Amino acid sequence: MKIGIIGGGALGLLFAGYIGQEYDVTLFSRRMEQSKQLELHGVHVKTAQESLITPVKARANWQTLSEQELIIIAVKQYDLEGILPILRTLPIHIPLLFIQNGMGHLTYLCTLNNQAILVGTVEHGALKIDDHSVYHSGIGKTNIAYFRGDERILALSRMQSDSFPIKLHQDYEAILEQKLIVNAIINPLTALFQVKNGKLLTNPSYLALLHILYEEIIPCFPKIKENMTIKEVERICRSTSDNQSSMFKDIEEGRRTEIDAILGYVLKRGAEMGRKLPNVSFLYESIKGMEFERGLRE
């Protein structure tokens, strides 16, 4: 099976490194230098215990994209709009898998004609080291569900390993909402306080804020409320205790964050339900302020 991966960030490299062990992977990067490094060195996945080197193909243009049998889109949500024109030129029989944070990208998916479109959430911890290397800081799983289509085409869901498990779900909204709630609580707090995930549990004041945010956010998602307690958020925080959240990393490295895709979506949901979310608003404006001070305007 030929699998194309769009995006040479941490998740794009992580997926290429593991999936490339089983499938014919081409990674599509926007920079020629990264493509050269990937062609020369392959993808190097590092963990605390071992290293994995996976040969992959790499392109800095869209040639061969239409030859793929599955395309995984691993760019940030705010970069999706820029590649939609390319995706719209693809044959509609090619399945697309989107693995963005937040839920704002669902409106984009409705504009595509592909017969099979999937969405996914990733629980792994991944930090990009350089153009061809990624540190796999925490093993989780990839959750996948169909936004449109059925299960006939996705051999990928049958690829299981201890280091990179993949689980197919029936309800795409449920998996996206669960991940959104976790991201809405953990990512902005760790970015604001510049701490790893585990500190939200060991610092009593940070833990109190985690609980306050949960109580404010969860009523906006009644479908998830019964199945996702505060203990589940704490469990995820504990299992990724040594991880640096993507939002913390973005702030640290002077990149735009996904705050609009995450807390911005929560605020929109709250407004639609007539709910005031003062703590969410404070946290949203705090991260936007940090972006402004670093010159990270839209």
State the CATH number of the domain containing residue 201: 1.10.1040.10
Separation of alpha carbons 238 and 75, rounded Å: 26
Last residue of one domain, picked from the residues 123, 155, 170: 170
Torsion of CA 217, 241, 258, 108, to 10 degrees: -80
- Which listed residue (76, 128, 179, 249) is catalytic? 179
Token couple for 65: 């994209």
267 neighbors 288 (Cβ within 8 angstroms): no
pTM, to two decimals: 0.90
Based on the fold, state whether residues 264 and 151 are members of the same structural domain: no
Q: Fill in the DSSP letter of residue 78.
A: G
Last residue of one domain, picked from the residues 170, 194, 228: 170
One-letter amino acid of 145: A
Q: Is 114 exposed, middle or buried (0-12, 13-18, 19+ CB in 10 A)?
A: buried
Token couple for 27: 């990674």
Residue 284's domain spans which residues? 175-293
pLDDT tens, position by position, for the chain (298 residues)? 899 999 999 999 999 999 999 899 999 999 999 999 999 999 999 998 889 999 999 999 998 999 999 999 999 988 999 999 999 999 999 999 999 998 989 989 999 999 999 999 998 888 899 999 999 988 888 999 999 987 655 656 556 677 788 888 889 999 999 999 999 999 999 999 999 999 999 999 999 999 999 999 999 999 887 778 999 899 989 988 888 898 999 999 888 999 999 999 999 999 999 999 999 999 999 999 999 988 765 5
Please state, as a whole number, how many other Cβ atoms lie within 10 Å of the Cβ of residue 78: 18
Is residue 225 among the annotated active site residues?
A: no
Evaluate whether residue 298 is within a structural domain.
no
73 neighbors 80 (Cβ within 8 angstroms): yes
Evaluate whether residue 273 is within a structural domain.
yes
